[in-house]
Chain A
Amino acid sequence: MTLIEEIDYGTPATNATRSVTLSIDGFPVTVPEGTSIMRAAMEAGVQIPKLCATDMLDAFGSCRLCLVEIDGRNGAPASCTTPVAEGLVVHTQTTRLKQLRRGVMELYISDHPLDCLTCAANGDCELQDMAGAVGLREVRYGFAGENHLDAAKDESNPYFTFDAAKCIVCSRCVRACEEVQGTFALTIEGRGFDSKVSPSAGEAFLDSECVSCGACVQACPTATLMEKSVIEIGQPEHSVVTTCAYCGVGCSFKAEMRGDEVVRMVPYKDGKANHGHSCVKGRFAWGYATHPDRVLTPMLRERITDPWRPVSWDEAIAHVAREFRRIQAEHGKDAIGGITSSRCTNEETYLVQKLVRAGFGNNNVDTCARVCHSPTGYGLKATFGTSAGTQDFDSVDHADVILVIGANPTDGHPVFASRMKRRLREGAKLIVIDPRRIDLVHTPHVAAEHHLPLRPGTNVAMLTALAHVIVTEGLVNEAFVAERCDAESFADWRAFVADAANSPEAMAAVTGVPAEAVRQAARLYATGGNAAIYYGLGVTEHSQGTTAVMAIANLAMATGNIGRPGVGVNPLRGQNNVQGSCDMGSFPHELPDYRHISDAAARAIYEREWGVRLEAEPGLRIPNMIDAALDGSFRGLYIQGEDIVQSDPNTHHMVAGLSAMECVVVHDLFLNETANYAHVFLPGSSFLEKDGTFTNAERRVGRVRKVMAPRAGLADWEATQAIARAMGVPMNYAHPGEIMDEIARTTPSFAGVSYARLDELGSVQWPCNETAPTGTPTMHIGQFSRGRGQFIVTEYVPTDERTGPRFPLLLTTGRILSQYNVGAQTRRTANSTWHAEDRLEIHPHDAEERGVRDGDWVRLASRAGETSLRARITDRVAPGVVYTTFHHPDTQANVVTTEHSDWATNCPEYKVTAVQVSRSNGPSAWQEDYRRHAEASRRVADLAAE
C-alpha cells in the first residue's frame, strides 16, 4: 500500500471539443482549446513550479512562480493564466526564468519560519517543494526585517489550525471557500504587506461564517491551514479510497493512514459524486469509530431491566438463533423479523433480507427508508417505472431552473449544495418551496427567484396549483407528452388540474402563498429552459408524501423535463445507503430490484439461488411490527444499524412495542436508545472496518474499503452470516465481493456490477448490465422504464393532524449541517461544538405571545407527548410554525411526533405535528425519567465481582 498522490494539473480542465497543438520545451502537445499552458505542460509531463495554482480552482496568477517564456511574446507570462494557442512555442526552463523564480522564492522564504523539521507539513508542503524545485540556496535579505513570524495562531476550530505566520497569502483558501464551497467566509484583509487571510470580518474561524468543509485546508500549499490530526499524529504513509458513510451524496475519500490509524480523510478528486469536495462530517467527523463509547463485546440479558452480561460471539449468536426459533415455535413463523440499515453496505442489507426471507421464512423485513424515502420508491415507480432519481449530480451543471422543494441541501447534502450554488452563481434560476427560509433562499451571490413559504402539509395543493398554471396557460410540452406518455392518464390528469378548484387562487387559502407568486414560479419552471426538481424529506414525510412525489413526476413529464442532462426528478436521500438498502430488497413487499414478492418468476430466482421456498405474502413494515408487538403476534426483532427509538415517530408507542417483545437484538456501534429495550447487543463495525458498497442518491454504487480490522472481531456481514448459519441457513461467503456476485446474478439492474468493474471504473450508476456496461447516468432517455410515463391525479387531502386551541402551532422537524440523523456518530465528535443540543426555532411573534426569550427553556407538547428544549427566536420560520432537529436523545423530539403516516407507505408525517409551546423551567419529568432509565439500561455487570 502506498500514499495515493493525485496529480495537480494547476488549472481546471476545459470542456472544449476543439484541440490546439503547441510546443512545450520542444515537444508537441495537443490539448483542448482554452487549456492553460500550465495544464498543457503537466499533461505532457512537465511540472512548472507553482504556488497559487491548483486544479480545483480557477487560475489566479498571483504567485509569479509559474512564469514561462513564449517565442514572439514579450516578458514572462504566468502559465496558469495564459491559455494555449495553435503553434505557440513555450519554454518552461531558461536562465532568466530560473533567476526570476529564485527571486520570488527568496521573498516568500524571507518571511516564512524556517522550522521545516518540526513543521506538521514536513513532507507535504508545496512551499518546501518549490524551494527545492527552483534551487533556492540562500535568502539574501536575511530574516531580521519586518515580518509576520509572530502572527497569532487561530486554533478555535476543533479540526484545523490557522497559523498566520506560515501564510504566503496565495489566496487559495479564499478562492476555495468561494469557488468550491460557495460560502465566501474568507477574504484577504488589508493591502500590500498588511494583507492577511481573514475569516468573516476579522473573526476567529469558529465564530465566522466558515462551515468547516475543509476546502481551504485542502487548498493550502503550506502548513498555514492544517488538520489538527496531522499535527498530533504526523504525516500519513498509505491511503485507501473509500466512500463516506454520512449523507446520500456518497463522497469519495482517501482514508490517509499511518498503520491502522486514520490520520485524515481527504476528498478524492476522481470521486464522481464529489469531485474532490467534502463537508464537515465526511472530512472531519470520523473520530466516532474509535470513541470510547464503542462497545466491542457481544452482550446478553434475560430482561431489559437487567444489567448487560458480556459474552463471546459464539454464545451471543447461539442465543439469538435459539430465541428466534423458540419464538417461532411458540407463536408462529411470522412472529419475528428484521430491520436492515441504510448506514450499512449493500452486501449487509442484502444479507439481512436474505436471513429474514430464507431463514425466518417470512417477509418481515424493513429499513429506515420506511421513515424517509419510501414514498419516493412508490411514487416514481408508479409514474416512471423505476424507484430512483433520474439524473447524476453532474446534471445540475446543465440546469437553467432549479426547483428545490422540501429539501435543505446546504445542511442535508452540503457537497451537492455547493455544486448547485455554483450553477446558481453562473445564472441558473432558483425556486424554493419550503415553509422555512432555508439558507439557499439567500446566500452569498445566490438569491431565489421565488420562495414560496407554504404551510406545512400543503405540498400537494401547491404542486397541483403549479400544474394548473402549466396546463391552463398552454405551457405543456405537448410533443413530449404525445411521444412519451400515456395518453389516457394524461387526459385525466389534464382535466383534473385544469379545474378551477386547483388554481393558485383557490389553493392560496390552503397553502398561504399568494397566487401570483405561484403563477410566476410555474411559468419559470415550464419556460426557463432545462428545469430540474430536487426534493427531500419535506416532500415525503407527510400523509400525502407519495402523492406529492407523483405530483412532482407529473410536473416533469408535462413540461418534458425528463430524459436528458439538466432536468429530471432528483430525490436527495438522507442517509448514505438509503438508495442501496431499498435496491437490495429491504422492503417487506419487494425483492431486490423492486420486484413484488407476489411475482412468482422473481421469487423463483431466489428460491433456486437459496434453495428454499419463499413466502409470497408481504410482511410487516416497521410501524406495523410495533403494532403487532402490542397485540402479541410479533415478538422478536433483529435490528442492524438503526435506532428506531430515537428516529421513529411517537416514542411512547415505539417503546411500548419494543418492551412487549421477547427478543430484541440490536447490532450497532453503540448502546443506542433502542438498545435500552434490547435483550442482545451485537457490536457493529464502522465503514472503516469492512469491505462493501454504498449506493448514493444518484444510483452510484461506490466501493467501501476496509482500512482497519473490525474492532469487535466481526464485520456486520460476518455477524449476520453467523446468525444465519446458527439458524440452519447456509451462508458461506468468504468476502463481500462474493455477496455482490450473488446480487449481480439475481438482480437485473446490477447484472454488470462486480468489485472488478468498480475497481476499473471507480463507481457505476445502475442500471449496469449488458445494455449499459458502464452504468446509466441519466434515466428514461427516449423511453420511460415502464414504457410510457403515467400521469396520476393528485387530489389534495388535508392531513388528519389539525391545529386547534390546545395545539395551535405546527411543528416540522429536520436536520442541521454538523449533525447526522440520530447523532450517534456526530455527537461523538467535535461536531457537537456547533450543535450541542436540539433547539426549537420559533417566530418572534409566537415567542412574544408566549413570553419566550431567546435561549429560554420551553415545553413542546402535542397529542402524542411532550418534551422540553431551549428556544431560538428567528424569522426563518413563519408565524404559526416551529421547527426542531432530532439529533439528541436528551430531547427526544420524536416523543412529540405522531403516528400519522403516508397513505401508501406508512412513512411517518414528521413534518406536520400540531403543538403548543410554553415556558418551562428545564427538562420535563419524562426527560428526567428517560435519562435515568437510559443510564440504568446501560449497566454492564461486573463479572469479576461475581
Chain B
Amino acid sequence: MSPDHLVSMANQIARFFAHRGEARAVPEIADHLRKFWDPRMRRAIDQHLANGGAGLDPLARKAVESLAPDVRRSHTA
C-alpha cells in the first residue's frame, strides 16, 4: 500500500473531525480507521508511523499512534 496515499486518506479523515477538538477528534479518527480500513492498511500506516510518519497531519498522527498497540498486537498474534 502506498504510504503517501494512505497518509493522504488519513489526513482527509482527520480534517473532517478536526473541528471537534483534539480530545474528541483523535478517538473518532481512530474509530473510523478501525471500522473502515482493512488491517493491512492499518499495518501499512503504522509502519509508516514507525518510519517517522512523514506527511501525517498532527491529529491523524495521534490517531494512528493510538491504534499502534492493537495493530502491532494483531500483527504478531
**Which residues of chain B are within 8 angstroms of A624 by Cβ–Cβ distance?**
1, 37-38, 41
- Which residues of chain B in 1-50 are interfacial with respect to chain A, using CB atoms and an 8 Å cutoff? 1-2, 5, 8-9, 12-13, 15-16, 18-20, 32, 35-41
Name which of A112-120, A277-285, A612-620, A744-752 contacts chain B.
A612-620
Name which of A186-194, A626-634, A782-790 contacts chain B.
A626-634
**Which residues of chain A are within 8 angstroms of B20 by Cβ–Cβ distance?**
793
User: CA of A630 to CA of B40 in the docked complex: distance in angstroms?
Assistant: 13
A899 interfacial contact with B, CB 8 Å: yes
A596 interfacial contact with B, CB 8 Å: yes
Partner of B38, one of A496, A617, A795, A904: A617
Q: Closest Cβ of chain B: how far from A791's Cβ, in Å?
A: 13
A906 interfacial contact with B, CB 8 Å: yes
- Is the Cβ of B40 less than 8 Å from the Cβ of A903? no
**Which residues of chain B are within 8 angstroms of A527 by Cβ–Cβ distance?**
none
- Is the Cβ of A627 less than 8 Å from the Cβ of B35? no
A30 interfacial contact with B, CB 8 Å: no
- Is the Cβ of A543 less than 8 Å from the Cβ of B12? yes
User: CA of A495 to CA of B67 in the docked complex: distance in angstroms?
Assistant: 32
A146 interfacial contact with B, CB 8 Å: no
**Which residues of chain A are within 8 angstroms of B40 by Cβ–Cβ distance?**
334, 620, 628, 633
Of all chain B residues, the one with the shortest Cβ separation from A903 is B12
Known: A633-B40, A797-B16. A596 touches B5 (CB 8 A): no
Known: A627-B1, A899-B5. A795 touches B37 (CB 8 A): no
**Which residues of chain B are within 8 angstroms of A547 by Cβ–Cβ distance?**
16
Of all chain B residues, the one with the shortest Cβ separation from A900 is B8
A688-728 Cβ-contact flags toward B at 8 Å (1 or 0): 00000000000000000000000000000000000000000
**Which residues of chain A are within 8 angstroms of B16 by Cβ–Cβ distance?**
547, 795, 797, 903-904
- Is the Cβ of B38 less than 8 Å from the Cβ of A903? no
Q: How large is the interface on A (under 10, 10 to 19, 20 to 34, 35 or more residues)?
A: 20 to 34
**Which residues of chain B are within 8 angstroms of A618 by Cβ–Cβ distance?**
35-38
Q: Closest Cβ of chain A: how far from B23's Cβ, in Å?
A: 15
Q: Closest Cβ of chain A: how far from B56's Cβ, in Å?
A: 15
**Which residues of chain A are within 8 angstroms of B32 by Cβ–Cβ distance?**
904
**Which residues of chain A are within 8 angstroms of B39 by Cβ–Cβ distance?**
334, 617
Of all chain A residues, the one with the shortest Cβ separation from B41 is A624
Q: What total of chain B residues lie within 8 Å of the partner, measured CB to CB?
A: 20
A598 interfacial contact with B, CB 8 Å: yes
User: CA of A943 to CA of B20 in the docked complex: distance in angstroms?
Assistant: 66
Number of residue pairs spanning A and B whose beta carbons lie under 8 angstroms apart: 61
A815 interfacial contact with B, CB 8 Å: no
Of all chain B residues, the one with the shortest Cβ separation from A496 is B19
User: CA of A621 to CA of B36 in the docked complex: distance in angstroms?
Assistant: 9
- Is the Cβ of A588 less than 8 Å from the Cβ of B5? no
User: CA of A442 to CA of B5 in the docked complex: distance in angstroms?
Assistant: 42
Of all chain B residues, the one with the shortest Cβ separation from A597 is B35
**Which residues of chain B are within 8 angstroms of A793 by Cβ–Cβ distance?**
19-20
**Which residues of chain B are within 8 angstroms of A630 by Cβ–Cβ distance?**
2
Q: Closest Cβ of chain B: how far from A864's Cβ, in Å?
A: 14
User: CA of A598 to CA of B1 in the docked complex: distance in angstroms?
Assistant: 23
Most buried by A among B2, B12, B19, B32: B12
- Which residues of chain A in 169-215 are interfacial with respect to chain B, using CB atoms and an 8 Å cutoff? none
**Which residues of chain A are within 8 angstroms of B1 by Cβ–Cβ distance?**
624, 627-628, 631
A589 interfacial contact with B, CB 8 Å: yes
**Which residues of chain A are within 8 angstroms of B13 by Cβ–Cβ distance?**
903-904
Q: Closest Cβ of chain B: how far from A636's Cβ, in Å?
A: 15
A800 interfacial contact with B, CB 8 Å: yes
User: CA of A261 to CA of B37 in the docked complex: distance in angstroms?
Assistant: 48
- Is the Cβ of B15 less than 8 Å from the Cβ of A797? yes
Of all chain B residues, the one with the shortest Cβ separation from A547 is B16
User: CA of A302 to CA of B73 in the docked complex: distance in angstroms?
Assistant: 39
Of all chain A residues, the one with the shortest Cβ separation from B18 is A795
Of all chain A residues, the one with the shortest Cβ separation from B14 is A903
Of all chain A residues, the one with the shortest Cβ separation from B32 is A904
- Which residues of chain A in 620-674 are interfacial with respect to chain B, using CB atoms and an 8 Å cutoff? 620-621, 624, 627-628, 630-631, 633
Q: Closest Cβ of chain B: how far from A496's Cβ, in Å?
A: 7
- Is the Cβ of A589 less than 8 Å from the Cβ of B36? yes
**Which residues of chain A are within 8 angstroms of B15 by Cβ–Cβ distance?**
795, 797, 903
User: CA of A621 to CA of B32 in the docked complex: distance in angstroms?
Assistant: 14
User: CA of A818 to CA of B35 in the docked complex: distance in angstroms?
Assistant: 39
User: CA of A628 to CA of B5 in the docked complex: distance in angstroms?
Assistant: 12
Q: Closest Cβ of chain B: how far from A437's Cβ, in Å?
A: 31
- Is the Cβ of A903 less than 8 Å from the Cβ of B5? no
A774-806 Cβ-contact flags toward B at 8 Å (1 or 0): 000000000000000000010101001000000
Residues on B facing A (Cβ under 8 Å): 1-2, 5, 8-9, 12-13, 15-16, 18-20, 32, 35-41
Sample 17 A-B pairs with CB under 8 A, ordered by A number.
A496-B19, A598-B35, A618-B35, A620-B38, A620-B40, A621-B36, A624-B1, A624-B37, A627-B5, A628-B40, A631-B1, A633-B40, A795-B15, A795-B18, A800-B8, A903-B13, A906-B9
The 6 closest A-B pairs by CB, nearest first: A903-B12, A620-B38, A617-B39, A797-B15, A627-B1, A903-B16
A sample of 16 more A-B contacts (CB under 8 A), given A617-B39, A618-B38, is A334-B39, A364-B38, A547-B16, A588-B38, A598-B35, A618-B37, A621-B36, A627-B1, A627-B5, A630-B2, A631-B1, A793-B20, A795-B15, A797-B16, A800-B8, A901-B9
